[in-house]
Amino acid sequence: MNPYEVLNASRGMTQKEIIQAVTLAMRNKEYSVQEIAIAQKELMNPVIKASHDFINFIEIPSSCNQLPERPNNTTSATNDLKRLSCFDETI
């Protein structure tokens, strides 16, 4: 569980901002009270918060948008390849 997602929080929030995020999360009722309480407890503990910062450092959806696109037609690239005879076995 990513506590930042549960609380719709960002890194670097103060404890006061975390408590405000808890209040908003309870109003939204998207997650259970238990999940919200666990997320709050984890983000209020500096050691656990640091581990979540490390684990959740890479945001996969935004990273996927930055990947280069694959070429649509790869057959033309393979047609230009030449066979190397230096790797042929002589029996």
Residue 54 within a domain: yes
Domain that holds residue 41: 1-58
The crossing angle, in degrees rounded to 10, of helices 15-28 and 33-44 is 170
Q: How many distinct structural domains can be found in the chain? A: 1
Residue 20 within a domain: yes
Tell me the pTM.
Answer: 0.60
Q: What's the CA gap between 6 and 26, in Å, rounded?
A: 10
Instruction: Give the CATH number, domain containing residue 40.
Output: 1.10.287
22-66 per-position pLDDT tens digit: 999 999 999 999 999 999 999 999 999 988 888 876 656 555 566
